[in-house]
Structure 1
């Protein structure tokens, strides 16, 4: 693989523009996915931007994992990093204006940085993407998203995350707590809303046999959306993936606030941290 970020220098500052509309039908599907009250007008809760201006690569242009394939052509927005495993590692989001049902959406995305790293888990490449989402011409969301590309796991590697331990999560130190078990229908609907065909979210034999997860993996932005709903409107929200969440297993979402600064998180039943997050009003 290339050893320095200069090998992908042509991709730095590469831009992609997409347009969309928050139609009443999309709003209804999003609200139904999260079991939220139906609405035909007004602004939707924060997190709807994850489902706007989604990728639309043809099916024939998808890679073996379900993500759009990357190559050397000018049409490839993402650099052709030769590492096969892709994860949404983190996001830093600034909410600047609400997004109302019926709004016309324009999103500009720019490759901000490409950083190779080596660690105990092998070679990795971190790609930062800066997004600006406008609703009816008003800047509504500014987000920096961090993706990580990794080496493939060995075919006999232990399944991740490890089996659940004997400890149990305690919510005593948190002010708000919601427990749920995200199941296959929720993962399917969120994949459909985001046009995300990464097979770890719906193809159990692939998730286990190829990417070596213990089960279907819950989407990072799905958990981020649930945390935003628990916390209420924020001006800034950042989250980082710590460990995979597995479909059908208990998930604990928690929030603690001190003077307008919020600490948020998602935890497994045995206390393993899944998502680390913070925010401000």
Structure 2
């Protein structure tokens, strides 16, 4: 699970660069010795949905832990008037590890839309005992297309989230994903974001034969992951039309005492707002 350090460090990336050991630098260099061939990379893109469906077939609901940290990290989730009706859209919901903790915490004034690329993941959301059609709607959607708007209206969401989702999508499609998110939000709506940061422990551990392109990798199961800088994200979201409320690195630890795991992690975290009608 993830535990917090004593404080968030916006300049953690600078520190991490300085702290890279010679061994880590050699690992990064060795990743370039055997790249994934273009034909295989193209096949991974074509079969992305299948790989995620197989992932959820194998792991069911047991792989990711519930995200009880979201209300602590994103105050926007709790800053609403309890009498105000709020529409929350989770883009890339997986098996409901964010939406169900929010349901359990109350949020009786929220209506939740939850979508995912994987039909199997959406089915797990729907078969959860907490699934309530009066309070939520789960459905499949490919965020690199306009699929989303077959199930929701443009401009309907007060809040949306992209939590560990963009990194799994080919960089060529990021602008489309952010366009879809932008259109789903109402003016003044906020997109909450967290994903993997550059030189995170997981990136350093990839061996030769797993690198697709710069900072973009294939995992053993065929799913993919990109590792971002805050500068990249600032440019992406600004070009998509968002105002940046927050855009920074955060340092966390992955701790599993049973397995003797205690390692530093680097994530990128942001809050991005769709401008109000008057542009403010």
Tell me, yes or no, whether TM beats 0.5. no
Larger relative strand fraction = 1
Task: Give the alignment's TM-score, normalised by structure 1.
Answer: 0.28
Larger relative helix fraction = 2
Task: Give the alignment's TM-score, normalised by structure 2.
Answer: 0.28
The answer to which structure, 1 or 2, has the higher relative contact order (CA under 8 A, 6+ apart) is 2
